[in-house]
Structure 1
Amino acid sequence: MKLLRRKEGPSLDVRLAALLQAASLAEGRLSEQAVSGARAIAERAGVRRDLSIDHTVAALAGATGSGKSSLYNALAGEELAAVGVTRPTTSTAQAALWDGEGAGPLLDWLDVPRRHSATPNPDTSGLILLDLPDHDSIRLSHRLEVDRLVELVDLLVWVVDPQKYADAALHDRYLRPLAGHRGVMLVLLNQVDRLPPQAVDRCVRDLRRLLDEDGLAGVPVLPVSARTGTGMAELRTLLGDRVCEHKSWSARLAADITAAADHLATAGPVAHAETIEGTPEPDTGTAAAEPAGVLESSRETGAGVAVVGEPGAEGEGKRMAGLDKALTTALAEAAGVPMVVEAVAKGHRHRAVVATGWPVTRWLRKFRPDPLRRLRIGAMAPAKPSRPDREIVGRTSVPAASAVQRAQVETAIRDVGEAAASGLPGPWALAVRQAARSRAQDLADAVDRAVGTTSGPATRRPRWWRVVNVLQWLVFATMLVGAGWLGVLFGMDYLRLPQPPLPTVGVVPWPTVLLLGGAVAGVLIASLSRLAAWAGGRRRARRAARALRTAISQVSKEYVLDPVEAELDRHARFAAALELARS
């Protein structure tokens, strides 16, 4: 069964769903009392709707001696409630029913066991009138019973008398807090037969003034007398109109939803909020998170809907982008990125000499440590898509961050949280700041992994190294041929053997050309390779610096900005749901 739709705005079904969504989003952020209260109201509204929409439950509530029971009897047309001078007279609520068919489950839910059939009246068919105990009774059970039923009935009829209509207990405890329920409220000034006519007018005006001060402007005020019947016809007509409209129950639920939404909007943070965990990821199925660096520029206090695109949003986005850059810089410094970049350049040159140097001397380079291996760069590599189980896990040997560097990272994280929380209500600002720090414990390891895996490509051997290496060995082989040739000639001369014909290049014998040419060519190739390795090392260092900064920026987004954006998205959805619930 769908709730009746009002002439303007969303239906109560939509508002109830919005209230429940707001309560769920506020879980762990706002006080448990406000969240559970909103859920209780939503649950109560659903139960009330399903029980009966054909009956209107009106309750006569008032102080001791205000004449509630007399009015109850007069409206019912018979003596249903005891009336006397002994107080309190009414100890439990009782109900008078006009056409009470189908009202049993509703009264069971209200927990009103005493039920009476009133004198039939077609104008009030469907009315259930409750006579409540005194709200100022000396018995606590009576006051608790009033408080319970005041939260459940559809129409509140407050009965006051000329002597105690300004009682602070009534105004402070009930009327002022229920200002949002003025659409389902009546105020009866009873026992006016005890006053002269001019005094009645003064009392009504004064009561009207007090109600206006309580925020109850527009609430009907009727002077009545159960003893003489003054104003009773008007009261019956007013009750009949409310019953015929069949809207008091929905108006009451609408007021309850608005009150619960207002309570959520002004609720304080959850107790021990510093221990909040489980910051959610952005819900792409419900509402997409805002892009990194773009935050709402206008957030009203309470639960105002955040607005993107208003004047100042661009400036705030630039500010967040600057803070993101500062965070990335701080993380890069703490992760030793400058040292890694320098090691990339040196490591490239070191490996180039080992791979392309003169074979006679290159082996000496192996006794010198590889800067990248010393930092354990290259020992970590990201998992291949085809073999995700082969990811190598470990840490680099980059020196740990200093106390100053750690402080700079913490400051940068705090600045991001403070900037993102700017303009949010207190509890949500606290949640955003906590979200910025929610994964700080894992940040150092994540950055280290990013450094290790991102720097891994710097250890890859260029293809030209292999070509030069082959060329070096060919040249070295040529030199060995020349040296061997000269050795054979030396041996033959030593043994006084006849010398074979010796080819020459000009006047220089070929063996000498091969030996000296191979040595010179090898040294020349090694020198050119070292020059190329120096330039290549600089290029690799620049690429590594860019790649490392990008990787660290991604880590900062995943571990700091994404939780912040998720919390901002949660608040935006909470604000939108709250706005819908209050509309």
Structure 2
Amino acid sequence: MKLLRRGPSLDDRLNALLEAADLAGGRLPADVVAAAREVADRAGVRRSLSVDHTVAALAGATGSGKSSLFNELTGAELATVGVTRPTTSTAQAALWDGDGAGPLLDWLEIPRRHAVAADTGLAGLVLLDLPDHDSIELGHRLEVDRLVEVVDLLVWVLDPQKYADAAVHERYLRPLARHREVMVVVLNQIDRLPAAAVSRCLADLRRLLADDGLDGVPVLGVSARTGAGLPELRSLLGEKVAARLSWAGRLSADVATAADALAAAGGSGGGVVGVSSGLSKALTGALSTAAGVPLVVDAVGKAHRHRAVVATGWPVTRWVRRFRPDPLRRLRIGGSSAAAGEIVGKTSLPEASGVQKAQVETAIRDVGEAAAEGLPGVWAASVRRAARSRAGELADALDKAVSTTSLSAARRPRWWRAVGLVQWVVFAAMAAGALWLGVLFGLDYLRLPELPTPTLLEVPWPTVLLVLGALAGVLVALLSRVAAWIGGRRRARGTAKALRAAVGEVARTDVLDPVTAELDRYTAFTTALTQARQ
């Protein structure tokens, strides 16, 4: 027998089939996925029943003589024999040493059971006589179809007149190509042929079976009427029963067939290509533009300069700046709540234009198309859907990313406070000088005695304080503006970099990750499918 095979065990292949079916859920046709799960479930039930019994079924067309063959193999007239019309309406079982086979036959729903005289060569055999697969009764055909799917060993009984009938080949034999190791083909009624014609018929039958993918299946010529070939058939059945492996071979073939069906439904194909870095950058760029990143970056630079003037400008004139709008606050970025690290509501960034939305859609579509390249149709469509699966959430995710990332743009550099303090000190000196001069002017106006006034190089100190205070305040304000301009450009560049990274994270989370997850799902599916088909 060829049932002892290298490679994954039956348990591993069943687990792989179940995994493949789970991964294919929602992608491949539901009936194909359900059939794969049913195979796995059926395998578990079959193994839990008797593995010491081999259930073999005699299947054939009307007039093929399978009921006669059933009687000859059992040595009793258990089946009613007909010639031109079906006489077997329900399957019946003959048991050689049938102890413990009851639950198995209950599962197979075989009510008619017959114990056969002990035959050590066939101990453990449960032989079924099935209704005719071409019966005019629909119930008979359905019964055959049901049992053909679950028995351990299939014995197809053909006759010289109809062994080439397309019905049996196309409906049963060809679809069961994976089951060659648990199949036997019997050409019955060879006594009706001349001796020379028997070998020609058997050779032609083997050719037809090879065309069905069943090359190597045992083909025996027998005659239920004369007993020719029956010893060879008994011996072959005895070998298969003694090996106690037909049930495993059947399940193994079922697993492979179900895996083939998953593959044929569009479940396997080319390898995974993935998404290039160029497409990822294009996607990030399109999302950045749509999210208003250029507008925010420009506002960051302007806001930095605006706030620097308010914080470090000459106290005499800086109050005028407060009447100008703050560029970031106009966008609802960097307000008082932002300074506290809290995001309240959405920003006031303008909605993406139609062109920008079209660019985003194109970039997402390009990502999906690139990732789906080379995949089977159903999986390619699933990857493209995954790329668009969170498109409705992109706007809010981008807005949140922009507002959160821009919080750093609202932070006030420490030097502003120091310069602001210097400005107030200088302003206080200037104010003191102006007040001092005012007092001196008042005393002179009232013709009061002049107070002694200290000088600096013959220049009165009140004048020094006034003039130097004013000049120092203006100079510090001008230097602060230069520093603010440089800092604004640096902060804008840093914000642009941070925003691109934040938008790239949104692109990864909402577009690339779903695509990658679907590609990983496909890879896991093909790996499980390959294991199940071995």
Do the two structures share a fold, i.e. TM-score over 0.5?
yes
Q: Which residue of 2 aligns with 1:274?
A: none
Maintained 8 Å contact 1:481/1:515: yes
Seen in structure 2, the aligned counterparts of structure 1 residues 351 and 379 have a Cα distance that, compared at 3 Å, is closer
Q: Which residue of 1 aligns with 2:25?
A: 27
Cα shift at 1:579: 1.1
2:86 equivalent among 81, 85, 88: 88
User: Does 2:471 match 1:520?
Assistant: yes
Cα shift at 1:380: 9.2
Partners of 1:106 and 1:383 in 2: CA distance: 75
Partners of 1:500 and 1:224 in 2: CA distance: 145
Partners of 1:87 and 1:471 in 2: CA distance: 115
Structure 1 residues 98-136: Cα deviation after superposition (integer angstroms, max 9, x where no partner): 000000000000000000112321000000000000000
Q: Which residue of 1 aligns with 2:403?
A: 452
2:147 equivalent among 149, 154, 157: 149
Seen in structure 2, the aligned counterparts of structure 1 residues 453 and 160 have a Cα distance that, compared at 3 Å, is same
Maintained 8 Å contact 1:304/1:579: no
Amino acid at match of 2:13: R
Cα shift at 1:303: 2.5
Maintained 8 Å contact 1:64/1:136: yes
User: Does 2:387 match 1:442?
Assistant: no
Maintained 8 Å contact 1:56/1:249: yes
Partners of 2:209 and 2:295 in 1: CA distance: 74
Q: Which residue of 1 aligns with 2:106?
A: 108
1:208 equivalent among 185, 206, 209: 206
Cα shift at 1:338: 0.8
User: Does 2:297 match 1:341?
Assistant: yes
Maintained 8 Å contact 1:479/1:516: yes
Alignment of 1:299-448 (within 5 A): 302-303=267-268, 306=271, 320-379=276-335, 391-448=342-399
Maintained 8 Å contact 2:343/2:403: no
Maintained 8 Å contact 1:95/1:130: yes
1:219 equivalent among 207, 217, 220: 217
Partners of 1:451 and 1:47 in 2: CA distance: 57
Cα-Cα RMSD: 1.7
Seen in structure 2, the aligned counterparts of structure 1 residues 411 and 166 have a Cα distance that, compared at 3 Å, is same
Q: Which residue of 2 aligns with 1:188?
A: 186
Seen in structure 2, the aligned counterparts of structure 1 residues 108 and 375 have a Cα distance that, compared at 3 Å, is same
Partners of 1:162 and 1:56 in 2: CA distance: 28
Partners of 1:224 and 1:531 in 2: CA distance: 107
Cα shift at 1:444: 1.1
Maintained 8 Å contact 2:270/2:375: no
1:568 equivalent among 519, 523, 529: 519
What is the percent sequence identity of the aligned residues?
70
Maintained 8 Å contact 1:96/1:115: yes
Seen in structure 2, the aligned counterparts of structure 1 residues 170 and 535 have a Cα distance that, compared at 3 Å, is same
Q: Which residue of 2 aligns with 1:233?
A: 231
Maintained 8 Å contact 2:259/2:532: yes
User: Does 2:265 match 1:255?
Assistant: no
Q: Which residue of 2 aligns with 1:121?
A: 119
Maintained 8 Å contact 1:328/1:549: yes
Higher helix share: 2
Maintained 8 Å contact 1:358/1:522: yes
Partners of 1:402 and 1:140 in 2: CA distance: 64
Partners of 2:503 and 2:20 in 1: CA distance: 35
Maintained 8 Å contact 2:20/2:529: yes
Cα shift at 1:383: 12
Seen in structure 2, the aligned counterparts of structure 1 residues 80 and 381 have a Cα distance that, compared at 3 Å, is farther
Structure 1 residues 369-413: Cα deviation after superposition (integer angstroms, max 9, x where no partner): 0001001112498999xxxxx853421111110001001111111
Maintained 8 Å contact 2:270/2:374: no
Normalised by the length of structure 2, the TM-score is: 0.97
Amino acid at match of 1:85: V
Alignment of 1:271-290 (within 5 A): none
Q: Which residue of 2 aligns with 1:140?
A: 138
Partners of 1:383 and 1:56 in 2: CA distance: 79
Maintained 8 Å contact 2:64/2:188: yes
3-state secondary structure, aligned to 2:57? strand
Structure 1 residues 123-162: Cα deviation after superposition (integer angstroms, max 9, x where no partner): 0000000000000000000000000000010010001110
Q: Which residue of 2 aligns with 1:130?
A: 128
Partners of 2:414 and 2:270 in 1: CA distance: 58
Maintained 8 Å contact 1:133/1:143: yes
Partners of 1:381 and 1:250 in 2: CA distance: 69
3-state secondary structure, aligned to 1:267? helix
1:54 equivalent among 52, 55, 61: 52
In the comparison of the two structures, how many residue pairs are matched? 533
183-192 or 421-430, which moves further after superposition? 421-430
Partners of 2:135 and 2:242 in 1: CA distance: 33
Partners of 2:335 and 2:228 in 1: CA distance: 96
User: Does 2:82 match 1:68?
Assistant: no
Normalised by the length of structure 1, the TM-score is: 0.89
Partners of 1:234 and 1:403 in 2: CA distance: 80
Amino acid at match of 1:58: A
Alignment of 1:156-171 (within 5 A): 156-171=154-169
Maintained 8 Å contact 1:380/1:456: no
Structure 1 residues 534-570: Cα deviation after superposition (integer angstroms, max 9, x where no partner): 0000000000000000011011001111111111111
Cα shift at 1:25: 1.0
1:506 equivalent among 454, 457, 462: 457
Maintained 8 Å contact 2:311/2:417: yes
Structure 1 residues 333-352: Cα deviation after superposition (integer angstroms, max 9, x where no partner): 11111111110000000000
1:17 equivalent among 4, 15, 23: 15
3-state secondary structure, aligned to 1:519? helix
Cα shift at 1:305: 8.3
425-434 or 536-545, which moves further after superposition? 425-434
Maintained 8 Å contact 1:60/1:68: yes
3-state secondary structure, aligned to 1:502? coil
Partners of 2:199 and 2:84 in 1: CA distance: 30
Maintained 8 Å contact 2:10/2:252: yes
User: Does 2:495 match 1:544?
Assistant: yes
Cα shift at 1:442: 0.4
Amino acid at match of 2:128: L
Maintained 8 Å contact 2:190/2:198: yes
Partners of 1:370 and 1:52 in 2: CA distance: 83
Q: Which residue of 1 aligns with 2:172?
A: 174
Cα shift at 1:304: 5.4
Cα shift at 1:575: 1.1
